Amino acid sequence: MDTRLANRVYYFEESQTLEMAKKARELSAKGVKVINLSLGEPDFATPKHIIEAAKKAMDDGFTKYSPVAGFLDLRQAVSDKFLRDNGLNYSTNQIVISTGAKHSIMNVILALINPGDEVIIPNPYWVSYSEMVKLASGKPVFVPSNVTNNYKSPASAIEAAITDKTKMFLFSSPCNPSGSAYSKQELKEIADVFEKYPNIFIVSDEIYEHINFVSKHESIGQFQSVADRVITINGVAKAFAMTGWRIGYIGAPEFIAKACEKLQGQFTSGANSIAQRATLAALTGSLEPTKAMTAEYLKRRNLVLKRLDEIPGVKANVPDGAFYIFPDFSYFIGKTLNGTKIISTRDLCYYLLEVAHVSMVSGEAFGNPECIRISYSLNETDLNFAFDRIKEALTI
């Protein structure tokens, strides 16, 4: 611990998704062909009409500060999108555009969480949720699930975690890292629980909304019993292959939206103006490129399931969406592979990076140390190549 740094830097862990991606890049820079299954990033290019909109925005002079909460026409497009796709009613003054959905979530946590407040998070969860809550001096409270119940936390288990300190329920569906998506009925059961607790806010991260293989996406904010306490998070990174553009947004009760605007007024002055114009094109344009990408993700999911099935001892769920799978690799804990003793899935990830040159993220970071998160947003040739190597490296 470096005492020159503020204590808060030590309240939370480094992002393991980004750490593994960095390690993969470092190895690649040494000339090693590394297959990166660690980072959740579409391998597709941003659709052409969105790129054109960004170029036009520069030519049209959108190179200055935007309003802190985002351009009004973009907030209107988000409001229309919420109504059209999700049946959610958020007016433009309830919408804030931010620098990626990650920033949107951090804003909401900073706006609502006081020291000691509890945030219920179904486990497994996206790496940054727990760390963001800790950064705000809140306390993450996890509701466990596992591969046998498809990594979904039933409403009864969520209710059992509620205390008089609970301030927020934070979840993603489709879920990063498991790919599980809650059905309308399951969400209704969760909404029915929170109807009884009017002081708890629900933060619904729907960034993988469009990457759903089984059904139409459902939002918890559609249930009127809780709608006025739901903050819906979304963005363009995953659906439109726009990770680097860094645009996320929220629909929230107006007082929360105002607080988020105030926060980012001091942190960023608002999101990138050109990326906001590109986002307007994404949200008002055709969803055909998104559908085509989703069809590819489905093929890849099926390929990954088939390839995982060839590895003894691995138990995998069947993801409903997103582009992740979260198999249980506990079979290998305690085993020795090529002279390396594996004592955790973190060890296993390092071993597979070094020996198979495939990078993946240990489930530890997502709340389940028996699992590994595999991001399959990669073409089938590279996926097959990666699994050939993984299979060989895991042969005992």
Interaction of residue 13 with ligand GLU, rule CB under 6 A: no
Which residues, numbered 119-138, are part of the site for ligand GLU (CB under 6 A)? 126-128
Between 22 and 188, whose beta carbon lies closer to ligand GLU? 22
Between 86 and 359, whose beta carbon lies closer to ligand GLU? 359
Distance of closest approach, residue 225 Cβ to ligand GLU, in angstroms: 30
Asked if residue 110 lies in contact with residue 136, where contact means CB atoms within 8 angstroms, the answer is yes
Distance of closest approach, residue 237 Cβ to ligand GLU, in angstroms: 8
Interaction of residue 40 with ligand GLU, rule CB under 6 A: yes
Distance of closest approach, residue 157 Cβ to ligand GLU, in angstroms: 24
Interaction of residue 103 with ligand GLU, rule CB under 6 A: no
Interaction of residue 15 with ligand GLU, rule CB under 6 A: yes
Interaction of residue 89 with ligand GLU, rule CB under 6 A: no
CA–centroid distance for 183 within its chain: 18
Exactly one of 13, 18, 188, 335 binds ligand GLU (CB under 6 A); which one? 18
Distance of closest approach, residue 221 Cβ to ligand GLU, in angstroms: 22
Specify the residue for token string 């071993």.
351
184: Cβ contacts below 8 Å, ≥ 6 apart: 218, 222
CA-to-CA distance for 355 and 218, rounded, in angstroms? 41
Interaction of residue 362 with ligand GLU, rule CB under 6 A: no
Residue with smallest beta-carbon separation from ligand GLU? 40
For ligand GLU (CB under 6 A), the number of binding residues is 10
CA-to-CA distance for 144 and 254, rounded, in angstroms? 32
CA-to-CA distance for 279 and 353, rounded, in angstroms? 35
CA-to-CA distance for 253 and 231, rounded, in angstroms? 7
CA-to-CA distance for 253 and 176, rounded, in angstroms? 25
Using CB under 6 A as the criterion, what x/- string covers residues 231-250 for binding ligand GLU? Answer: --------------------
Exactly one of 17, 94, 290, 362 binds ligand GLU (CB under 6 A); which one? 17
Across 266-294, b (16+ Cβ under 10 Å) vs e yields eeeebbbbbbbbbbbbbbeeeeebbeebb
Distance of closest approach, residue 374 Cβ to ligand GLU, in angstroms: 11
* Interface residue list for ligand GLU (CB under 6 A): 15, 17-18, 39-40, 102, 126-128, 176
